[in-house]
Amino acid sequence: MVGTTLTVCTTCRHADAPEGEIRPGEALFDAIMAGDIPEGVTVKGVKCLSACSNSCTVAVTGGPTRWSYVYGNLDPVEHLDAILDGVGRYARTDDGIVPWRERPEIFKRQSIARIPPQE
Protein backbone atom coordinates (compact mmCIF):
# COMPACT_ATOMS: atom_id res chain seq x y z
CA MET A 1 0.00 0.00 0.00
CA VAL A 2 1.38 3.37 -1.06
CA GLY A 3 1.14 6.20 1.47
CA THR A 4 -1.83 8.52 1.03
CA THR A 5 -2.25 12.09 2.27
CA LEU A 6 -5.61 13.69 2.96
CA THR A 7 -5.06 17.45 3.06
CA VAL A 8 -7.85 19.53 4.58
CA CYS A 9 -8.22 23.27 4.09
CA THR A 10 -8.72 24.54 7.64
CA THR A 11 -9.55 28.10 6.59
CA CYS A 12 -12.45 27.14 4.32
CA ARG A 13 -15.70 28.89 5.11
CA HIS A 14 -18.81 29.77 3.20
CA ALA A 15 -19.14 33.38 2.06
CA ASP A 16 -22.11 34.01 4.33
CA ALA A 17 -20.47 32.51 7.46
CA PRO A 18 -20.23 34.97 10.35
CA GLU A 19 -16.72 36.08 11.28
CA GLY A 20 -15.45 34.59 14.53
CA GLU A 21 -17.30 31.26 14.29
CA ILE A 22 -15.35 28.05 13.84
CA ARG A 23 -14.74 27.67 10.14
CA PRO A 24 -16.27 24.62 8.46
CA GLY A 25 -12.82 23.62 7.20
CA GLU A 26 -11.47 23.58 10.74
CA ALA A 27 -14.54 21.65 11.91
CA LEU A 28 -13.97 19.13 9.10
CA PHE A 29 -10.31 18.71 10.02
CA ASP A 30 -11.21 18.19 13.70
CA ALA A 31 -13.91 15.65 12.81
CA ILE A 32 -11.54 13.71 10.55
CA MET A 33 -8.84 13.67 13.23
CA ALA A 34 -11.38 12.32 15.74
CA GLY A 35 -12.65 9.74 13.25
CA ASP A 36 -11.44 6.32 12.16
CA ILE A 37 -8.65 7.29 9.78
CA PRO A 38 -7.96 4.47 7.30
CA GLU A 39 -4.68 2.57 7.45
CA GLY A 40 -1.92 4.17 5.38
CA VAL A 41 -3.55 7.62 5.40
CA THR A 42 -1.88 10.71 6.83
CA VAL A 43 -4.07 13.74 7.51
CA LYS A 44 -2.74 17.27 7.46
CA GLY A 45 -4.37 20.66 7.69
CA VAL A 46 -3.31 23.60 5.56
CA LYS A 47 -4.28 27.25 5.65
CA CYS A 48 -5.62 27.38 2.08
CA LEU A 49 -6.18 25.12 -0.93
CA SER A 50 -7.26 28.13 -3.01
CA ALA A 51 -10.65 26.62 -3.82
CA CYS A 52 -12.64 29.21 -1.85
CA SER A 53 -15.71 29.13 -4.07
CA ASN A 54 -16.01 25.39 -3.28
CA SER A 55 -15.61 25.54 0.49
CA CYS A 56 -15.04 22.98 2.43
CA THR A 57 -12.24 21.42 0.42
CA VAL A 58 -9.88 18.45 0.69
CA ALA A 59 -7.12 17.07 -1.52
CA VAL A 60 -6.21 13.39 -1.78
CA THR A 61 -2.70 12.57 -2.97
CA GLY A 62 -0.56 9.47 -3.08
CA GLY A 63 2.82 10.14 -4.58
CA PRO A 64 4.26 10.78 -8.03
CA THR A 65 2.80 7.70 -9.74
CA ARG A 66 -0.81 8.15 -8.63
CA TRP A 67 -3.66 10.42 -9.65
CA SER A 68 -4.56 13.16 -7.14
CA TYR A 69 -7.98 14.69 -6.49
CA VAL A 70 -9.50 17.84 -5.02
CA TYR A 71 -13.04 17.61 -3.62
CA GLY A 72 -15.18 20.52 -2.49
CA ASN A 73 -18.53 21.69 -1.19
CA LEU A 74 -18.16 19.25 1.68
CA ASP A 75 -20.07 19.28 4.95
CA PRO A 76 -18.07 18.54 8.13
CA VAL A 77 -20.90 16.45 9.62
CA GLU A 78 -22.86 15.04 6.70
CA HIS A 79 -19.87 13.92 4.60
CA LEU A 80 -17.39 12.72 7.25
CA ASP A 81 -18.01 8.97 6.82
CA ALA A 82 -17.99 9.22 3.01
CA ILE A 83 -14.69 11.14 3.04
CA LEU A 84 -13.03 8.54 5.27
CA ASP A 85 -14.46 5.71 3.16
CA GLY A 86 -13.34 7.33 -0.10
CA VAL A 87 -9.83 8.10 1.05
CA GLY A 88 -9.52 4.53 2.38
CA ARG A 89 -10.52 3.16 -1.02
CA TYR A 90 -8.01 5.51 -2.68
CA ALA A 91 -5.27 4.33 -0.31
CA ARG A 92 -5.80 0.74 -1.46
CA THR A 93 -5.22 1.55 -5.15
CA ASP A 94 -1.92 1.43 -7.01
CA ASP A 95 -2.73 4.25 -9.42
CA GLY A 96 -5.11 6.42 -7.39
CA ILE A 97 -8.14 5.52 -9.48
CA VAL A 98 -11.04 4.03 -7.53
CA PRO A 99 -13.53 2.35 -9.89
CA TRP A 100 -16.53 4.65 -10.45
CA ARG A 101 -19.09 2.30 -8.90
CA GLU A 102 -16.97 1.92 -5.76
CA ARG A 103 -16.62 5.66 -5.08
CA PRO A 104 -18.72 7.38 -2.43
CA GLU A 105 -21.30 9.68 -4.02
CA ILE A 106 -19.46 12.84 -2.96
CA PHE A 107 -16.30 11.59 -4.70
CA LYS A 108 -18.33 11.12 -7.89
CA ARG A 109 -20.19 14.44 -7.83
CA GLN A 110 -18.04 16.89 -5.89
CA SER A 111 -14.70 16.57 -7.61
CA ILE A 112 -13.11 19.92 -8.40
CA ALA A 113 -9.99 18.55 -10.07
CA ARG A 114 -8.27 15.32 -11.02
CA ILE A 115 -4.52 15.78 -11.35
CA PRO A 116 -2.43 13.29 -13.37
CA PRO A 117 0.59 11.51 -11.92
CA GLN A 118 3.87 13.37 -12.12
CA GLU A 119 5.65 10.37 -13.61
Quote helix, strand, coil % in the chain, to nearest 5: 30, 20, 50
pLDDT in tens, the chain (119 residues): 569 999 999 987 766 667 777 888 999 999 999 999 999 999 999 999 999 888 899 999 999 999 999 999 999 999 999 999 999 999 999 999 999 999 999 999 999 999 999 98
> In the chain, how many domains are there?
1
Q: What is the DSSP string of 75-100?
A: -TTTTHHHHHHHHHHHHT-SSS---G
Q: Give the domain CATH number at 108.
A: 3.40.30.10
- Domain residues for the domain of 107 are 4-115
